[in-house]
Structure 1
Amino acid sequence: MPARLIASQLRTCLGDGAETFAALLAGRSGIGPLRHGEPTALNVAHGYHVEDGATRAFAASRWVADCARRAIADCGLDPRRRRMVALVGTGLRELAAVEAYATGGAAFPAHRLHFGDAVRAAVPGLHEVVTVSNACSAGGHVLALAEDLLMLGEADAVLVCGVDAATESMLAMIGRVADHPTDAVRPFDADRQGVLLGDGAVAAVLMPDDHAGPALARIVATGLSCDAHHETAPAVPGIARAMRDALARGGRDPAEVDLVVAHGTGTALNDPAESEAIRQVLVAGGGDPLVTAVKGATGHTSGAAALVNVDVAWRCLAGGRVPPVVGLRRPLPEGAGLRFATTATASTPRLVQCDAFGFGGVNAVTLVEAP
């Protein structure tokens, strides 16, 4: 069942939502030297960091709490007067805080791996707070859960959040699969070198589709799949199935999608697979969508990535401009025939597809349109 997006607050290495979108339109990246861990040991020299001047421990909790507080203030809802559930999607939870505690030798408060305490403190009166750790598509999965809660009447409003902070253990993992340190994320580029992590947090408020107040966008549907094809490698059939599921749930034709905010990790396997899935589902269905992606500017924000894409989508709908794929200089051969945005483009899309794919084949695709 569709839902109304009535507020959205974002934090990336580029700033808040408006600052991030302005940087994307300008083709500006937030990449900088790695600030956590030893670059030589990790084989990672760069990152897309949020710096708030505070300790690294529980940074993810601070960022998501701040976004949640601002989103609730924007929409003016009082959770104490209605049943509002909060869902937090994440890939790493508070692993950065665990690492900080391990270094200091102190015992880690295990319940703070989740974000219930932080979100409840920021938004008093919430009916429930649930943390969903579901890899890099976690933000899309909590969107789908929010749609279900509203459709079933189990909540009057849902605060949907996504957050992750870069961790040394995750940095070590991406460093070990690269021959040389990646200098920047280049989605869909023939010379892409691999992915880099980006800090990020998002909080959005969803209301039922019959909500009569102002809204930023309409969440048409979210499609899911879990193909379990491989521990890390994506599979075209699973990605395509999530796309088709979103279209079927939303009652939409592939030809109606005129913008894709792609997952676009800049990795050897993801970008060709995503390109082929777009070709099989949307292009074969009569569409010719413009394709953009944000990770060249923000890094891979993991559990927040799906909701970052949704925030960008509603701004494209509202402003009539689509940002370029930052870092894309020469499109990959597997992307032949797709229209990648290489400059900021004047366009008012009707229907935007937002992609998010995670390790283990957990895929989420969300369709967004103007309110």
Structure 2
Amino acid sequence: MSVLIASSVLRTCLGDGPQTFAALLAGRDGRSPLRPGYPQQLRVAYGYQVDGPAGPYAASRWLADCARRAVAAAGVDTRNVRLACLVGTGLRELSTVEATAGEDLAGVPAHRLHFADAVRAAVPGVGDVVTIANACSASGHALALAQDMVELGDADAVLVCGTDAMTTSMLAMIGRVVDEPTERVRPFDRDRHGVLLGEGAAAVVVVPDHGRPALGRLLATGLSCDAHHETAPSPEGIVRAMRDALTRAGARPADVGLVLAHGTGTALNEPAECAALCEVLLAGGADPLVTGVKGAVGHMSGTAALANLDVALRCLATGSVPPTVGLRVPLAEAAGLRLVREEPAPLPPGLVQIDAFGFGGVNAVTLVGAP
């Protein structure tokens, strides 16, 4: 059984959801020099940062704003609706801990690493609030759990959120795994050099299908956790997640018209993702368009799946698919895939597939359709 997405709110380096989508259609990106204060030794000079100083508990503040607006847009009244909340994140409030390093860490209580306080302050009357720290597919896993909760009657509605702020430790990692510092994210490009971090937050409200207005239909999320390698993706694990999504949705590969790819611009992700798309979709009779957003907003860690979802919903609403910012010459492994580049493309009929893959082979693939 499918459920509905009643609202979606996004905040990226490019602005809110409408501003981000307009920038994507125009082929613009939100890359900027890293904020002052990051060490020179990081070998990272750029990021896709939310405007203004981050400061302590930035991820919580961005999350609270998106959560409040998503609940209001969905028309959910917590006085008579059992609203639960699931927050997907890759880094939690690690940036706040890092900023306090060398000082008294008692000033960062353990429960503030999670987001219950932020959500409860923004959405009075919300029920259970659970934080899922599940790498870069965290908010995709939260979507899967939200659908289960609504279908099983464990909640009348579920607020699904994602949030992440940039951290020095993650910047240090991405700066040390490339031969030369990465200048920009170039998904599916032959000459891609690596990933850069993005930050921001997103929130959607998932509700039962009772004939109410909605932005889209959440059909299914397929999951896999293959533990293939600490960081390297496994095409076989991604294939399992894609097939799981199709099976749960009762859909065929040929039903998929558009893929919002994970597309990190790294040496290993793109060949693995291309191989999985060819094995599952192309071999199954599909010929979808494929696009990605990380060239414009960076890698938003645990928020990545919901950022893709917001863009997918706007594709369904407008009939337009934005190009992959940063893509000039496709890599050889993408032969046969209809990558969207340079100009927006008309949305093909069919479902939209949203890919999100994380370290350790924690994968989530979501299928959505028109309401």
Q: Determine if the TM-score, normalized by the shorter chain, exceeds 0.5.
A: yes
Matched, 1:172 2:151: no
Contact 1:91 1:134 in 2 (8 A): yes
CA drift of 1:103 comes to: 4.8
Matched, 1:241 2:267: no
Deviations 1:54-98 (A, max 9, x none): x52100000000000011111121122111100000000000011
Contact 2:260 2:354 in 1 (8 A): yes
Structure 2: distance between partners of 1:290 and 1:106: 48
Question: Which amino acid in 1 is paired with 2:265?
Answer: G
Structure 2: distance between partners of 1:6 and 1:26: 27
Deviations 1:114-165 (A, max 9, x none): 0000001000001110000000000100000001101111000000001111
Question: Which amino acid in 2 is paired with 1:333?
Answer: A
Query: Which residue is 1:354 aligned to?
Result: 354
CA RMSD, 1 decimal:
1.1
Structure 2: distance between partners of 1:301 and 1:36: 20
Query: Which residue is 1:79 aligned to?
Result: 78
CA drift of 1:37 comes to: 4.4
Matched, 1:29 2:29: yes
Question: Which amino acid in 1 is paired with 2:122?
Answer: A
Q: Secondary structure at the match of 2:101?
A: helix
Question: Which amino acid in 1 is paired with 2:137?
Answer: S
Query: Which residue is 2:148 aligned to?
Result: 148
Structure 1: distance between partners of 2:97 and 2:205: 29
Query: Which residue is 1:369 aligned to?
Result: 369
CA drift of 1:166 comes to: 0.8
Question: Which amino acid in 2 is paired with 1:240?
Answer: V
Query: Which residue is 1:214 aligned to?
Result: 213
Query: Which residue is 2:292 aligned to?
Result: 293
Structure 1: distance between partners of 2:286 and 2:152: 33
CA drift of 1:349 comes to: 3.5
Contact 1:86 1:158 in 2 (8 A): yes
Tell me which moved more, 96-105 or 27-36. 96-105
Gaps of 5+ in 1: none
Structure 2: distance between partners of 1:16 and 1:67: 9
CA drift of 1:51 comes to: 2.1
Structure 1: distance between partners of 2:308 and 2:226: 22
Structure 2: distance between partners of 1:66 and 1:300: 20
Q: Secondary structure at the match of 1:366?
A: strand
Note the 1:1-371 alignment, pairs <5 A: 1-35=1-35, 37-38=37-38, 40-53=40-53, 55-107=54-106, 108-208=108-208, 210-342=209-341, 343-371=343-371
Structure 2: distance between partners of 1:11 and 1:252: 31
Q: Secondary structure at the match of 2:59?
A: helix
Contact 1:36 1:168 in 2 (8 A): no
CA drift of 1:106 comes to: 4.6
Q: Secondary structure at the match of 1:50?
A: coil
Structure 2: distance between partners of 1:36 and 1:198: 16
Name the TM-score, length of structure 1 as normaliser: 0.98
Gaps of 5+ in 2: none
Q: Secondary structure at the match of 1:80?
A: coil
Structure 1: distance between partners of 2:63 and 2:360: 25
CA drift of 1:317 comes to: 0.6
Contact 1:316 1:349 in 2 (8 A): no
Contact 1:187 1:267 in 2 (8 A): yes
CA drift of 1:347 comes to: 2.1
Contact 1:135 1:362 in 2 (8 A): yes
Q: Secondary structure at the match of 1:219?
A: strand
Q: Secondary structure at the match of 1:85?
A: strand
Aligned residues: 369
Contact 1:243 1:281 in 2 (8 A): yes
Contact 2:87 2:131 in 1 (8 A): yes
Structure 2: distance between partners of 1:9 and 1:168: 27
Structure 2: distance between partners of 1:38 and 1:9: 29
